[in-house]
Structure 1
């Protein structure tokens, strides 16, 4: 088993929180793990990207070669496209469709969406809207994690345990809202896969 994941977004969206949760869950599954990050956390809105490699066998590099990522997981649609050259021919893009317009020359969203659709295997929906519907607007990253989770060979119960552990200091209400967001994202992808 091997899953190479590129996590992408902008500073402040919670991409590194996803990496933390998946990394801890992978270790509980006794899997090997390598991770590399690029982020400008000091400037909110800067590019954030993480290579996350999970395998049942030893991993010798923390960087994912171009054309070999199993998943591109992004909270921002243009950021998903930025790393498209890393996606394998049968890989999946899982992305939020709500843009984070932080540059003057951000492309037209319909152009971004059509390029995403042309990528083939795509799970794309407005994860911010899903989080708001759950009365948990700050948990769109957990919706994203849930939407990506069917493509990752880690038991969902272990991912949920790590969500609970990570947010436990913030109280049961925050834990439960993040779990609910994760489950909503997972359900969306499971329904999409069934309908294909």
Structure 2
């Protein structure tokens, strides 16, 4: 088993929480992981990106080469498109469609949507709306993790255990909100994949 994953978004969206959950679940599955993070201007809403490599055998480098990523998981559509050069030909993009307009010349949402629709393997969902519908408005990152779960090749129960571990210090109510968001994202991705 081998999965090379680019996680991307904007500072404050919860990219590193997604990486932590996947990392814990992978370790519980007896897999090896390497991670490299680029925080950019996260304090000001800038690009945040993480290379996450998971394998059942030794991993030599923590950076994913161009054209080798199995997944680009992004909490922001423009950031998803930014990392397409790293995606393999058979790779999948799992992205939130809600833009976070943080620069003056941010592209129109329709232009981003058209670019996403050109991709052969994409799950694009409004993670913010799914989170609100699941009564977890601050858990769009866990919605997106749920949408990516079918592509991770990691047991769902172990991902849920990772969520419990990561959010346990915040109390059971926060844990349950994040689990609800994760499950809602998983269901939304399943519906989209069946079309």
TM norm structure 2: 0.97
Counterpart for residue 8 of structure 2: 8
Question: How far apart, in 2, do the equivalents of 1:59 and 1:193 lie?
Answer: 30
Gaps of 5+ in 2: none
Question: How far apart, in 1, do the equivalents of 2:144 and 2:136 lie?
Answer: 13
Deviation by residue 1:119-151 (Cα, 9 ceiling, x = unmatched): 111100110011111221100000000000100
Question: How far apart, in 2, do the equivalents of 1:147 and 1:42 lie?
Answer: 24
Q: Are 1:143 and 1:186, in contact at CA under 8 Å, matched by a contact in 2?
A: yes
Question: How far apart, in 2, do the equivalents of 1:135 and 1:191 lie?
Answer: 20
Counterpart for residue 109 of structure 1: 109
Q: Which SS does the other structure have where 1:9 is aligned? A: strand
Q: Are 1:8 and 1:15, in contact at CA under 8 Å, matched by a contact in 2?
A: yes
Deviation by residue 1:69-124 (Cα, 9 ceiling, x = unmatched): 10000000000000011111111000000000000010111111111111111100
Question: How far apart, in 2, do the equivalents of 1:183 and 1:135 lie?
Answer: 12
Counterpart for residue 24 of structure 1: 24
Counterpart for residue 70 of structure 2: 70
Q: Residue 42 and residue 141 in structure 1: after superposition, are their counterparts in 2 closer, same or farther (change >3 A)?
A: closer
Q: Are 1:12 and 1:41, in contact at CA under 8 Å, matched by a contact in 2?
A: no
Matches of residues 92-171 of structure 1 in structure 2 within 5 Å? 92-171=92-171
TM norm structure 1: 0.96
Q: Residue 140 and residue 61 in structure 1: after superposition, are their counterparts in 2 closer, same or farther (change >3 A)?
A: same
Q: Which SS does the other structure have where 1:99 is aligned? A: coil
Q: Are 2:33 and 2:53, in contact at CA under 8 Å, matched by a contact in 1?
A: yes
Counterpart for residue 44 of structure 1: 44
Tell me how far 1:170 sits from its aligned partner: 1.5
Counterpart for residue 183 of structure 2: 183
Tell me how far 1:41 sits from its aligned partner: 5.9
Question: How far apart, in 2, do the equivalents of 1:57 and 1:29 lie?
Answer: 13
Q: Are 2:31 and 2:55, in contact at CA under 8 Å, matched by a contact in 1?
A: yes
Would you say how many aligned residue pairs link Structure 1 and Structure 2? 195
Tell me how far 1:45 sits from its aligned partner: 0.4
Structure 1 residues 120-129 or 166-175, which shifts more? 166-175
Question: How far apart, in 1, do the equivalents of 2:180 and 2:135 lie?
Answer: 10
Q: Which SS does the other structure have where 1:12 is aligned? A: coil
